Structure 1
Amino acid sequence: MAADRTQSFPRLLVVRMKHYGGGALERYRNLSTHSKLFVWGTICLYIALGSFIIIVGPDRIGQTLYNFAQKISHYPYGWLILTSLFFIVSFPPAVGHTTLVTLCGYAYGMKGFPIAASGSLLGSAFTFVVLRLLFRRRLRKWTQSSEKWQALETVIAAKGLPLIMLIRASPFPPWVYSNALFASIQSVALWQFFLATFVVFPKIAIFVFVGSRLASLSDGEQRSHMDTTTKILNISISVGGVLVAAVASWIIYRLMKKEILHLQGVPPEIDELAAEAIEEAEEGAPLLGHHSESRARYDVSSA
Protein backbone atom coordinates (compact mmCIF):
# COMPACT_ATOMS: atom_id res chain seq x y z
CA MET A 1 0.00 0.00 0.00
CA ALA A 2 2.87 2.33 0.80
CA ALA A 3 4.36 1.62 -2.61
CA ASP A 4 1.04 2.45 -4.27
CA ARG A 5 0.94 5.76 -2.43
CA THR A 6 4.52 6.54 -3.46
CA GLN A 7 3.70 5.81 -7.08
CA SER A 8 0.43 7.71 -7.00
CA PHE A 9 1.94 10.91 -5.61
CA PRO A 10 4.02 11.76 -8.74
CA ARG A 11 1.01 10.91 -10.89
CA LEU A 12 -1.21 13.15 -8.79
CA LEU A 13 1.37 15.92 -8.99
CA VAL A 14 1.47 15.67 -12.79
CA VAL A 15 -2.33 15.74 -12.97
CA ARG A 16 -2.47 18.83 -10.77
CA MET A 17 0.21 20.59 -12.83
CA LYS A 18 -1.67 19.85 -16.04
CA HIS A 19 -4.92 21.05 -14.48
CA TYR A 20 -3.59 24.37 -13.22
CA GLY A 21 -1.36 24.86 -16.26
CA GLY A 22 -4.25 24.26 -18.63
CA GLY A 23 -6.48 26.59 -16.61
CA ALA A 24 -3.87 29.34 -16.67
CA LEU A 25 -3.40 28.95 -20.43
CA GLU A 26 -7.16 29.10 -21.00
CA ARG A 27 -7.44 32.25 -18.88
CA TYR A 28 -4.61 33.83 -20.84
CA ARG A 29 -6.31 33.08 -24.16
CA ASN A 30 -9.52 34.73 -22.93
CA LEU A 31 -7.74 37.94 -21.89
CA SER A 32 -8.09 41.12 -23.91
CA THR A 33 -5.10 42.45 -25.87
CA HIS A 34 -4.55 45.09 -23.19
CA SER A 35 -4.45 42.44 -20.47
CA LYS A 36 -2.08 40.20 -22.45
CA LEU A 37 0.29 43.12 -22.88
CA PHE A 38 0.07 43.71 -19.13
CA VAL A 39 1.01 40.06 -18.45
CA TRP A 40 4.01 40.17 -20.78
CA GLY A 41 5.04 43.55 -19.42
CA THR A 42 5.01 42.09 -15.90
CA ILE A 43 7.09 39.09 -17.03
CA CYS A 44 9.64 41.37 -18.70
CA LEU A 45 9.78 43.52 -15.57
CA TYR A 46 10.61 40.53 -13.37
CA ILE A 47 13.21 39.27 -15.86
CA ALA A 48 14.83 42.72 -15.94
CA LEU A 49 14.73 42.92 -12.14
CA GLY A 50 16.32 39.47 -11.77
CA SER A 51 19.01 40.35 -14.30
CA PHE A 52 19.73 43.60 -12.47
CA ILE A 53 20.16 41.78 -9.16
CA ILE A 54 22.52 39.23 -10.72
CA ILE A 55 24.63 41.84 -12.53
CA VAL A 56 24.89 44.44 -9.77
CA GLY A 57 25.00 41.92 -6.91
CA PRO A 58 22.79 41.50 -3.81
CA ASP A 59 25.44 43.00 -1.50
CA ARG A 60 25.65 46.30 -3.36
CA ILE A 61 21.89 46.53 -3.75
CA GLY A 62 21.33 45.78 -0.07
CA GLN A 63 23.92 48.34 1.02
CA THR A 64 22.39 51.00 -1.22
CA LEU A 65 18.93 50.29 0.13
CA TYR A 66 20.24 50.40 3.70
CA ASN A 67 22.00 53.75 3.14
CA PHE A 68 18.86 55.19 1.57
CA ALA A 69 16.71 53.98 4.47
CA GLN A 70 19.12 55.44 7.02
CA LYS A 71 19.05 58.83 5.30
CA ILE A 72 15.26 58.85 5.53
CA SER A 73 15.31 57.84 9.21
CA HIS A 74 17.63 60.73 10.04
CA TYR A 75 15.40 63.33 8.39
CA PRO A 76 13.16 65.16 10.89
CA TYR A 77 10.14 64.35 8.73
CA GLY A 78 11.33 61.07 7.26
CA TRP A 79 8.17 59.34 8.46
CA LEU A 80 6.13 61.85 6.46
CA ILE A 81 8.09 61.01 3.30
CA LEU A 82 7.31 57.32 3.71
CA THR A 83 3.67 58.02 4.50
CA SER A 84 3.37 60.12 1.34
CA LEU A 85 4.83 57.27 -0.72
CA PHE A 86 2.06 54.99 0.54
CA PHE A 87 -0.48 57.27 -1.12
CA ILE A 88 1.35 56.78 -4.42
CA VAL A 89 1.75 52.99 -4.30
CA SER A 90 -1.91 52.58 -3.26
CA PHE A 91 -3.16 54.12 -6.50
CA PRO A 92 -3.28 51.74 -9.49
CA PRO A 93 -1.43 50.85 -11.59
CA ALA A 94 1.47 51.65 -9.22
CA VAL A 95 3.26 48.77 -7.49
CA GLY A 96 5.62 48.42 -4.55
CA HIS A 97 3.46 48.33 -1.41
CA THR A 98 5.27 45.35 0.14
CA THR A 99 8.66 46.85 -0.75
CA LEU A 100 7.70 50.12 0.91
CA VAL A 101 6.50 48.30 4.03
CA THR A 102 9.84 46.47 4.18
CA LEU A 103 11.63 49.80 3.74
CA CYS A 104 9.90 51.06 6.88
CA GLY A 105 11.56 48.19 8.72
CA TYR A 106 14.88 49.05 7.11
CA ALA A 107 14.67 52.65 8.26
CA TYR A 108 13.06 52.42 11.70
CA GLY A 109 13.04 48.77 12.76
CA MET A 110 9.77 47.72 14.40
CA LYS A 111 9.12 51.41 15.12
CA GLY A 112 8.34 51.60 11.42
CA PHE A 113 5.17 49.54 11.89
CA PRO A 114 2.95 52.54 12.87
CA ILE A 115 4.23 54.37 9.77
CA ALA A 116 3.56 51.41 7.47
CA ALA A 117 0.16 50.66 9.03
CA SER A 118 -1.13 54.24 9.05
CA GLY A 119 0.29 54.94 5.58
CA SER A 120 -1.39 51.82 4.17
CA LEU A 121 -4.70 52.66 5.85
CA LEU A 122 -4.83 56.32 4.82
CA GLY A 123 -3.38 55.74 1.35
CA SER A 124 -5.90 53.02 0.49
CA ALA A 125 -8.81 55.06 1.89
CA PHE A 126 -7.74 58.07 -0.20
CA THR A 127 -7.53 55.87 -3.31
CA PHE A 128 -10.96 54.41 -2.59
CA VAL A 129 -12.57 57.87 -2.36
CA VAL A 130 -10.80 59.29 -5.43
CA LEU A 131 -11.61 56.31 -7.65
CA ARG A 132 -15.19 56.17 -6.42
CA LEU A 133 -15.72 59.89 -7.19
CA LEU A 134 -13.87 60.07 -10.51
CA PHE A 135 -15.35 56.94 -12.05
CA ARG A 136 -18.93 57.10 -10.76
CA ARG A 137 -20.51 57.20 -14.23
CA ARG A 138 -18.23 54.54 -15.65
CA LEU A 139 -19.00 52.39 -12.64
CA ARG A 140 -22.74 52.54 -13.24
CA LYS A 141 -22.28 51.74 -16.94
CA TRP A 142 -20.04 48.78 -16.15
CA THR A 143 -22.27 47.23 -13.53
CA GLN A 144 -25.20 47.33 -15.94
CA SER A 145 -23.25 45.46 -18.64
CA SER A 146 -21.09 42.96 -16.71
CA GLU A 147 -22.80 39.89 -15.30
CA LYS A 148 -19.70 38.99 -13.29
CA TRP A 149 -19.65 42.33 -11.54
CA GLN A 150 -23.35 42.17 -10.77
CA ALA A 151 -22.80 38.72 -9.29
CA LEU A 152 -19.86 39.96 -7.20
CA GLU A 153 -21.90 42.87 -5.86
CA THR A 154 -24.72 40.48 -4.99
CA VAL A 155 -22.40 38.12 -3.11
CA ILE A 156 -20.66 40.90 -1.16
CA ALA A 157 -23.95 42.59 -0.33
CA ALA A 158 -25.28 39.27 0.98
CA LYS A 159 -22.29 38.48 3.19
CA GLY A 160 -21.23 42.01 4.15
CA LEU A 161 -18.20 42.98 6.21
CA PRO A 162 -16.89 39.44 7.00
CA LEU A 163 -16.46 38.62 3.31
CA ILE A 164 -14.98 42.06 2.60
CA MET A 165 -12.38 41.46 5.31
CA LEU A 166 -11.59 38.00 3.92
CA ILE A 167 -11.07 39.36 0.41
CA ARG A 168 -8.96 42.21 1.79
CA ALA A 169 -6.68 39.80 3.65
CA SER A 170 -6.26 37.63 0.55
CA PRO A 171 -3.10 38.11 -1.59
CA PHE A 172 -5.22 38.08 -4.75
CA PRO A 173 -6.03 40.59 -5.97
CA PRO A 174 -2.80 42.38 -4.97
CA TRP A 175 -2.90 45.45 -2.74
CA VAL A 176 -3.23 48.17 -5.36
CA TYR A 177 -5.87 46.30 -7.40
CA SER A 178 -7.73 45.39 -4.25
CA ASN A 179 -8.19 49.13 -3.66
CA ALA A 180 -9.63 49.51 -7.16
CA LEU A 181 -11.79 46.42 -6.72
CA PHE A 182 -13.58 47.67 -3.60
CA ALA A 183 -13.95 51.17 -5.01
CA SER A 184 -15.73 49.53 -7.96
CA ILE A 185 -18.33 47.77 -5.83
CA GLN A 186 -21.20 50.06 -4.93
CA SER A 187 -22.36 47.87 -2.07
CA VAL A 188 -19.04 48.45 -0.22
CA ALA A 189 -19.14 51.54 1.98
CA LEU A 190 -16.03 53.53 2.91
CA TRP A 191 -16.31 52.59 6.59
CA GLN A 192 -16.44 48.88 5.66
CA PHE A 193 -13.38 49.22 3.46
CA PHE A 194 -11.60 51.17 6.21
CA LEU A 195 -12.30 48.52 8.86
CA ALA A 196 -11.44 45.66 6.50
CA THR A 197 -7.98 47.14 5.91
CA PHE A 198 -7.11 46.52 9.56
CA VAL A 199 -6.94 42.77 8.84
CA VAL A 200 -3.83 43.42 6.71
CA PHE A 201 -1.90 44.79 9.72
CA PRO A 202 -0.46 41.40 10.84
CA LYS A 203 1.09 40.86 7.40
CA ILE A 204 2.41 44.43 7.46
CA ALA A 205 4.00 43.75 10.87
CA ILE A 206 5.71 40.63 9.50
CA PHE A 207 7.27 42.48 6.57
CA VAL A 208 8.36 45.38 8.78
CA PHE A 209 10.07 42.82 11.01
CA VAL A 210 11.69 41.15 8.00
CA GLY A 211 12.92 44.57 6.88
CA SER A 212 14.47 45.23 10.28
CA ARG A 213 16.38 41.90 10.08
CA LEU A 214 17.48 42.46 6.49
CA ALA A 215 18.77 45.93 7.40
CA SER A 216 21.42 44.48 9.70
CA LEU A 217 22.41 41.96 7.02
CA SER A 218 22.54 44.61 4.29
CA ASP A 219 24.98 46.91 6.08
CA GLY A 220 28.54 45.74 5.46
CA GLU A 221 29.83 47.14 8.76
CA GLN A 222 27.20 45.41 10.87
CA ARG A 223 27.56 42.21 8.89
CA SER A 224 31.34 42.14 9.43
CA HIS A 225 30.83 42.04 13.21
CA MET A 226 28.36 39.16 13.07
CA ASP A 227 29.42 35.59 13.67
CA THR A 228 28.16 32.82 11.39
CA THR A 229 25.45 31.74 13.83
CA THR A 230 23.99 35.24 14.03
CA LYS A 231 23.99 35.58 10.25
CA ILE A 232 22.24 32.24 9.79
CA LEU A 233 19.71 33.15 12.48
CA ASN A 234 18.87 36.51 10.85
CA ILE A 235 18.58 34.91 7.42
CA SER A 236 16.40 32.10 8.79
CA ILE A 237 14.13 34.56 10.59
CA SER A 238 13.77 36.69 7.44
CA VAL A 239 13.02 33.74 5.17
CA GLY A 240 10.73 32.20 7.78
CA GLY A 241 8.76 35.43 8.13
CA VAL A 242 8.20 35.63 4.38
CA LEU A 243 7.17 31.95 4.24
CA VAL A 244 4.73 32.39 7.13
CA ALA A 245 3.16 35.38 5.38
CA ALA A 246 2.98 33.47 2.08
CA VAL A 247 1.39 30.36 3.60
CA ALA A 248 -1.09 32.41 5.63
CA SER A 249 -2.01 34.43 2.54
CA TRP A 250 -2.57 31.26 0.50
CA ILE A 251 -4.78 29.74 3.20
CA ILE A 252 -6.82 32.94 3.39
CA TYR A 253 -7.14 33.00 -0.40
CA ARG A 254 -8.49 29.43 -0.43
CA LEU A 255 -10.92 30.25 2.38
CA MET A 256 -12.06 33.33 0.52
CA LYS A 257 -12.80 31.39 -2.68
CA LYS A 258 -14.55 28.64 -0.71
CA GLU A 259 -16.68 31.24 1.07
CA ILE A 260 -17.70 32.84 -2.21
CA LEU A 261 -18.41 29.53 -3.97
CA HIS A 262 -20.53 28.13 -1.12
CA LEU A 263 -22.47 31.16 0.05
CA GLN A 264 -25.85 30.15 1.44
CA GLY A 265 -28.89 31.75 -0.12
CA VAL A 266 -27.10 32.65 -3.36
CA PRO A 267 -27.41 30.53 -6.54
CA PRO A 268 -24.23 28.63 -7.55
CA GLU A 269 -24.15 30.41 -10.91
CA ILE A 270 -23.76 33.78 -9.20
CA ASP A 271 -21.10 32.37 -6.86
CA GLU A 272 -19.00 31.19 -9.80
CA LEU A 273 -19.30 34.50 -11.64
CA ALA A 274 -18.31 36.38 -8.47
CA ALA A 275 -15.21 34.18 -8.06
CA GLU A 276 -14.24 34.88 -11.68
CA ALA A 277 -14.65 38.61 -11.09
CA ILE A 278 -12.24 38.42 -8.15
CA GLU A 279 -9.66 36.58 -10.25
CA GLU A 280 -9.91 39.18 -13.02
CA ALA A 281 -9.56 42.14 -10.66
CA GLU A 282 -5.90 42.62 -11.61
CA GLU A 283 -7.16 44.02 -14.90
CA GLY A 284 -8.46 46.95 -12.87
CA ALA A 285 -11.99 46.54 -14.12
CA PRO A 286 -14.21 48.38 -14.15
CA LEU A 287 -12.31 51.51 -13.08
CA LEU A 288 -9.07 50.92 -14.93
CA GLY A 289 -9.53 47.91 -17.15
CA HIS A 290 -9.89 47.98 -20.90
CA HIS A 291 -13.00 45.86 -21.03
CA SER A 292 -14.21 44.13 -24.12
CA GLU A 293 -17.67 44.15 -25.61
CA SER A 294 -20.49 44.46 -23.14
CA ARG A 295 -22.09 41.23 -22.06
CA ALA A 296 -25.70 40.42 -21.71
CA ARG A 297 -27.21 41.75 -18.54
CA TYR A 298 -27.67 39.35 -15.72
CA ASP A 299 -30.77 39.98 -13.69
CA VAL A 300 -29.63 38.89 -10.27
CA SER A 301 -32.92 39.89 -8.73
CA SER A 302 -34.70 37.12 -10.66
CA ALA A 303 -32.38 34.39 -9.38
Structure 2
Amino acid sequence: MSARNPSLDSIARARAGGARTPSPTPSEREALAPPRPLKERLRHPTKRELYILGIVLVALAIAITIAKLHDKIAYGLQPLGQWMRHHRGGWAIPVAFLIVMSFPPLAGHELVATMCGLTWGLGLGFLIVCLGTWLGELALFVACRYFLTKRGERYERKNIQFATLAAVIREGGFKIILMARFSAIPPHFTTAVLATCGTSMPKFLLATFLALPRQFAPVYIGYTLEQSIEGGTFSSSSRLTAPSKLFIAID
Protein backbone atom coordinates (compact mmCIF):
# COMPACT_ATOMS: atom_id res chain seq x y z
CA MET A 1 0.00 0.00 0.00
CA SER A 2 1.49 3.33 -1.03
CA ALA A 3 2.06 6.08 1.49
CA ARG A 4 0.06 9.30 1.23
CA ASN A 5 0.83 12.91 1.87
CA PRO A 6 0.00 13.81 5.51
CA SER A 7 -1.37 17.20 4.49
CA LEU A 8 -3.74 15.61 1.95
CA ASP A 9 -4.93 13.10 4.57
CA SER A 10 -5.72 15.88 7.06
CA ILE A 11 -7.75 17.77 4.44
CA ALA A 12 -9.68 14.61 3.53
CA ARG A 13 -10.49 13.89 7.21
CA ALA A 14 -11.62 17.47 7.71
CA ARG A 15 -13.97 17.31 4.74
CA ALA A 16 -15.34 13.91 5.80
CA GLY A 17 -16.13 15.19 9.29
CA GLY A 18 -17.85 18.32 8.05
CA ALA A 19 -15.16 20.59 9.43
CA ARG A 20 -13.99 23.74 7.72
CA THR A 21 -11.17 23.24 5.21
CA PRO A 22 -8.04 25.03 6.47
CA SER A 23 -6.80 28.10 4.66
CA PRO A 24 -4.27 27.43 1.88
CA THR A 25 -0.61 27.88 2.65
CA PRO A 26 1.52 30.44 0.72
CA SER A 27 2.87 27.69 -1.56
CA GLU A 28 -0.68 26.48 -2.24
CA ARG A 29 -1.80 30.03 -3.09
CA GLU A 30 1.11 30.34 -5.50
CA ALA A 31 0.28 27.02 -7.15
CA LEU A 32 -3.45 27.82 -7.45
CA ALA A 33 -2.87 31.32 -8.83
CA PRO A 34 -3.49 31.66 -12.58
CA PRO A 35 -0.33 31.91 -14.71
CA ARG A 36 0.77 35.42 -15.57
CA PRO A 37 0.79 36.50 -19.22
CA LEU A 38 4.14 36.58 -21.01
CA LYS A 39 4.07 40.37 -21.46
CA GLU A 40 3.59 40.89 -17.73
CA ARG A 41 6.43 38.46 -16.96
CA LEU A 42 8.74 40.40 -19.27
CA ARG A 43 7.77 43.77 -17.78
CA HIS A 44 7.73 42.73 -14.11
CA PRO A 45 9.80 39.56 -13.61
CA THR A 46 9.94 38.00 -10.15
CA LYS A 47 13.16 37.35 -8.26
CA ARG A 48 12.92 33.64 -9.04
CA GLU A 49 12.57 34.34 -12.77
CA LEU A 50 15.55 36.69 -12.65
CA TYR A 51 17.65 34.01 -10.92
CA ILE A 52 16.67 31.43 -13.54
CA LEU A 53 17.47 33.86 -16.35
CA GLY A 54 20.88 34.60 -14.83
CA ILE A 55 21.69 30.89 -14.52
CA VAL A 56 20.68 30.28 -18.14
CA LEU A 57 22.80 33.19 -19.40
CA VAL A 58 25.83 32.00 -17.45
CA ALA A 59 25.37 28.46 -18.77
CA LEU A 60 25.10 29.76 -22.35
CA ALA A 61 28.23 31.87 -21.92
CA ILE A 62 30.16 28.86 -20.61
CA ALA A 63 28.86 26.65 -23.43
CA ILE A 64 29.84 29.21 -26.10
CA THR A 65 33.29 29.62 -24.57
CA ILE A 66 33.85 25.87 -24.48
CA ALA A 67 32.60 25.52 -28.07
CA LYS A 68 35.12 28.11 -29.24
CA LEU A 69 37.99 26.46 -27.36
CA HIS A 70 37.05 22.81 -27.88
CA ASP A 71 40.17 22.11 -29.98
CA LYS A 72 42.53 23.36 -27.29
CA ILE A 73 40.53 21.67 -24.51
CA ALA A 74 40.57 18.34 -26.37
CA TYR A 75 44.28 18.50 -27.07
CA GLY A 76 44.98 19.64 -23.51
CA LEU A 77 43.11 16.66 -22.02
CA GLN A 78 44.76 14.12 -24.30
CA PRO A 79 47.97 13.70 -22.18
CA LEU A 80 45.86 13.02 -19.09
CA GLY A 81 43.91 10.39 -21.01
CA GLN A 82 47.06 8.73 -22.29
CA TRP A 83 48.48 8.64 -18.76
CA MET A 84 45.32 6.94 -17.40
CA ARG A 85 45.03 4.55 -20.32
CA HIS A 86 48.59 3.24 -19.94
CA HIS A 87 48.41 2.75 -16.17
CA ARG A 88 46.78 -0.21 -14.45
CA GLY A 89 43.61 0.86 -12.72
CA GLY A 90 43.51 4.20 -14.55
CA TRP A 91 39.87 3.57 -15.41
CA ALA A 92 39.01 3.85 -11.70
CA ILE A 93 39.96 7.56 -11.69
CA PRO A 94 37.00 8.74 -13.81
CA VAL A 95 34.73 6.31 -11.96
CA ALA A 96 35.72 7.93 -8.66
CA PHE A 97 35.19 11.41 -10.10
CA LEU A 98 31.74 10.45 -11.39
CA ILE A 99 30.74 9.09 -7.96
CA VAL A 100 31.85 12.27 -6.19
CA MET A 101 30.19 14.52 -8.79
CA SER A 102 26.87 12.74 -8.28
CA PHE A 103 26.39 14.76 -5.08
CA PRO A 104 24.99 18.21 -5.87
CA PRO A 105 25.90 21.02 -6.20
CA LEU A 106 29.02 19.53 -7.83
CA ALA A 107 29.12 19.61 -11.63
CA GLY A 108 31.33 18.35 -14.43
CA HIS A 109 29.76 14.96 -15.13
CA GLU A 110 29.60 15.60 -18.88
CA LEU A 111 33.24 16.70 -18.97
CA VAL A 112 34.36 13.43 -17.36
CA ALA A 113 32.19 11.45 -19.78
CA THR A 114 33.73 13.31 -22.72
CA MET A 115 37.16 12.54 -21.30
CA CYS A 116 36.30 8.83 -21.20
CA GLY A 117 35.27 8.87 -24.84
CA LEU A 118 38.44 10.74 -25.72
CA THR A 119 40.60 8.23 -23.87
CA TRP A 120 38.98 4.79 -24.19
CA GLY A 121 36.73 5.18 -27.23
CA LEU A 122 33.04 4.39 -27.56
CA GLY A 123 32.87 0.87 -26.10
CA LEU A 124 35.07 0.88 -23.01
CA GLY A 125 34.56 4.61 -22.44
CA PHE A 126 30.78 4.18 -22.34
CA LEU A 127 31.08 1.23 -19.92
CA ILE A 128 33.29 3.26 -17.58
CA VAL A 129 30.81 6.15 -17.60
CA CYS A 130 27.90 3.79 -16.98
CA LEU A 131 29.70 2.21 -14.01
CA GLY A 132 30.59 5.55 -12.44
CA THR A 133 27.12 6.98 -13.04
CA TRP A 134 25.32 3.94 -11.64
CA LEU A 135 27.49 3.76 -8.52
CA GLY A 136 27.26 7.53 -7.99
CA GLU A 137 23.46 7.55 -8.19
CA LEU A 138 23.34 4.57 -5.83
CA ALA A 139 25.54 6.39 -3.30
CA LEU A 140 23.38 9.52 -3.53
CA PHE A 141 20.20 7.46 -3.14
CA VAL A 142 21.49 5.75 0.00
CA ALA A 143 22.70 9.05 1.49
CA CYS A 144 19.36 10.78 0.86
CA ARG A 145 17.38 7.79 2.14
CA TYR A 146 19.21 7.65 5.48
CA PHE A 147 19.98 11.33 6.09
CA LEU A 148 17.35 13.45 4.28
CA THR A 149 14.09 11.50 4.59
CA LYS A 150 12.83 13.49 7.60
CA ARG A 151 13.73 16.77 5.94
CA GLY A 152 11.94 15.65 2.77
CA GLU A 153 8.80 14.91 4.77
CA ARG A 154 8.87 18.37 6.34
CA TYR A 155 9.47 20.01 2.95
CA GLU A 156 6.61 17.98 1.48
CA ARG A 157 4.22 19.45 4.05
CA LYS A 158 5.33 23.00 3.21
CA ASN A 159 5.69 22.93 -0.60
CA ILE A 160 2.72 21.85 -2.70
CA GLN A 161 4.81 21.36 -5.87
CA PHE A 162 7.11 18.91 -4.11
CA ALA A 163 4.13 17.21 -2.45
CA THR A 164 2.42 16.80 -5.83
CA LEU A 165 5.56 15.37 -7.41
CA ALA A 166 5.97 12.93 -4.53
CA ALA A 167 2.32 11.84 -4.79
CA VAL A 168 2.67 11.23 -8.55
CA ILE A 169 5.80 9.12 -7.99
CA ARG A 170 4.14 7.04 -5.26
CA GLU A 171 0.95 6.44 -7.21
CA GLY A 172 2.55 5.99 -10.64
CA GLY A 173 4.88 3.15 -9.76
CA PHE A 174 7.82 2.00 -11.85
CA LYS A 175 6.65 3.65 -15.09
CA ILE A 176 6.71 7.10 -13.53
CA ILE A 177 10.12 6.40 -11.97
CA LEU A 178 11.52 5.39 -15.36
CA MET A 179 9.96 8.44 -17.07
CA ALA A 180 11.52 10.67 -14.41
CA ARG A 181 14.95 9.17 -15.14
CA PHE A 182 14.53 9.93 -18.85
CA SER A 183 13.01 13.40 -18.33
CA ALA A 184 14.75 16.76 -18.55
CA ILE A 185 14.87 16.97 -14.74
CA PRO A 186 18.50 16.77 -13.55
CA PRO A 187 19.20 13.13 -12.57
CA HIS A 188 20.68 14.08 -9.18
CA PHE A 189 17.52 15.98 -8.22
CA THR A 190 15.39 13.04 -9.37
CA THR A 191 17.45 10.68 -7.24
CA ALA A 192 16.99 12.84 -4.14
CA VAL A 193 13.22 13.01 -4.68
CA LEU A 194 12.91 9.28 -5.29
CA ALA A 195 14.93 8.50 -2.17
CA THR A 196 12.87 10.75 0.11
CA CYS A 197 9.55 9.56 -1.35
CA GLY A 198 10.05 5.98 -0.24
CA THR A 199 10.93 4.43 -3.62
CA SER A 200 12.24 0.89 -3.21
CA MET A 201 15.89 0.37 -4.05
CA PRO A 202 15.33 -2.45 -6.62
CA LYS A 203 12.99 -0.22 -8.66
CA PHE A 204 15.43 2.68 -8.46
CA LEU A 205 18.41 0.56 -9.50
CA LEU A 206 16.52 -0.93 -12.45
CA ALA A 207 15.25 2.46 -13.65
CA THR A 208 18.73 3.98 -13.32
CA PHE A 209 20.23 1.09 -15.29
CA LEU A 210 17.66 1.42 -18.10
CA ALA A 211 18.34 5.19 -18.31
CA LEU A 212 22.13 4.78 -18.73
CA PRO A 213 21.97 5.26 -22.55
CA ARG A 214 21.57 8.98 -21.78
CA GLN A 215 25.30 9.02 -21.04
CA PHE A 216 26.23 7.98 -24.58
CA ALA A 217 26.11 11.51 -26.09
CA PRO A 218 29.07 13.06 -24.18
CA VAL A 219 31.09 9.87 -24.66
CA TYR A 220 30.50 10.09 -28.41
CA ILE A 221 31.59 13.73 -28.40
CA GLY A 222 34.85 12.74 -26.75
CA TYR A 223 35.30 9.93 -29.29
CA THR A 224 34.86 12.34 -32.21
CA LEU A 225 37.37 14.73 -30.65
CA GLU A 226 39.88 11.89 -30.36
CA GLN A 227 39.33 11.02 -34.01
CA SER A 228 39.92 14.63 -35.02
CA ILE A 229 43.18 14.66 -33.04
CA GLU A 230 44.40 11.48 -34.73
CA GLY A 231 43.39 12.87 -38.10
CA GLY A 232 45.66 15.86 -37.59
CA THR A 233 42.93 18.48 -37.89
CA PHE A 234 44.39 20.62 -35.11
CA SER A 235 46.42 23.66 -35.99
CA SER A 236 49.84 24.13 -34.48
CA SER A 237 48.59 27.11 -32.45
CA SER A 238 46.02 24.90 -30.66
CA ARG A 239 48.54 22.35 -29.40
CA LEU A 240 49.27 22.72 -25.71
CA THR A 241 52.66 21.32 -24.78
CA ALA A 242 52.56 22.14 -21.06
CA PRO A 243 50.19 19.27 -20.09
CA SER A 244 52.35 16.79 -22.01
CA LYS A 245 55.47 17.86 -20.12
CA LEU A 246 53.59 17.70 -16.84
CA PHE A 247 52.38 14.10 -17.21
CA ILE A 248 55.70 12.94 -18.65
CA ALA A 249 57.35 14.29 -15.50
CA ILE A 250 54.76 12.50 -13.29
CA ASP A 251 55.26 9.25 -15.17
TM-score for both structures, normalised by structure 1: 0.57
3-state SS of 2:154 partner: helix
* Match in the other structure for 1:40: 54
* Match in the other structure for 1:133: 146
* Match in the other structure for 2:120: 108
3-state SS of 1:183 partner: helix
Larger radius of gyration: 2
Q: Does 2:235 align with 1:224?
A: no
For residues 173-216 of structure 1, the C-alpha deviation after alignment (integer angstroms, 9 at most, x for no partner) is: 123322223233x2322222111111222222343233222212
For residues 136-188 of structure 1, the C-alpha deviation after alignment (integer angstroms, 9 at most, x for no partner) is: 22112111222222222222122101110011012x2123322223233x232
1:49 to partner: Cα distance:
5.4
1: CA distance between counterparts of 2:204 and 2:40?
A: 30
- Out of 64, 72, 78, the position equivalent to 1:50 is 64
Q: Does 2:79 align with 1:67?
A: yes
1:63 to partner: Cα distance:
0.5
Equivalence map 1:169-188=2 (5 Å): 169-170=182-183, 172-184=184-196, 186-188=197-199
* Match in the other structure for 2:172: 159
* Match in the other structure for 1:168: 181
* Match in the other structure for 1:22: 38
Distance 1:91 1:78, change over 3 A: same
Distance 1:29 1:195, change over 3 A: farther
- Out of 105, 123, 126, the position equivalent to 1:93 is 105
> Does the 8 Å CA contact 1:95/1:176 hold for their aligned counterparts?
no
1:31 to partner: Cα distance:
5.5
1: CA distance between counterparts of 2:62 and 2:233?
A: 33
- Out of 94, 114, 119, the position equivalent to 2:132 is 119
2: CA distance between counterparts of 1:69 and 1:36?
A: 40
1: CA distance between counterparts of 2:40 and 2:79?
A: 41
TM-score for both structures, normalised by structure 2: 0.67
Equivalence map 1:187-198=2 (5 Å): 187-198=198-209
Which stretch shifts more, 82-91 or 70-79?
70-79
Higher helix share: 1
Tell me the matched-pair count.
197
Paired amino acid for 2:206: L
Stretches (4+) displaced over 6 A: none
> Does the 8 Å CA contact 1:156/1:187 hold for their aligned counterparts?
no
1:37 to partner: Cα distance:
4.2
Distance 1:225 1:62, change over 3 A: closer
For residues 120-140 of structure 1, the C-alpha deviation after alignment (integer angstroms, 9 at most, x for no partner) is: 111001011112222222112
> Does the 8 Å CA contact 1:93/1:176 hold for their aligned counterparts?
no
For residues 88-112 of structure 1, the C-alpha deviation after alignment (integer angstroms, 9 at most, x for no partner) is: 2211111222222222111111212
Paired amino acid for 2:190: S
Q: Does 2:211 align with 1:200?
A: yes
1: CA distance between counterparts of 2:155 and 2:164?
A: 12
Report the aligned-residue RMSD: 3.0
2: CA distance between counterparts of 1:29 and 1:68?
A: 45
Unaligned ranges ≥5, structure 1: 1-18, 227-303
1:62 to partner: Cα distance:
1.7
3-state SS of 2:88 partner: coil
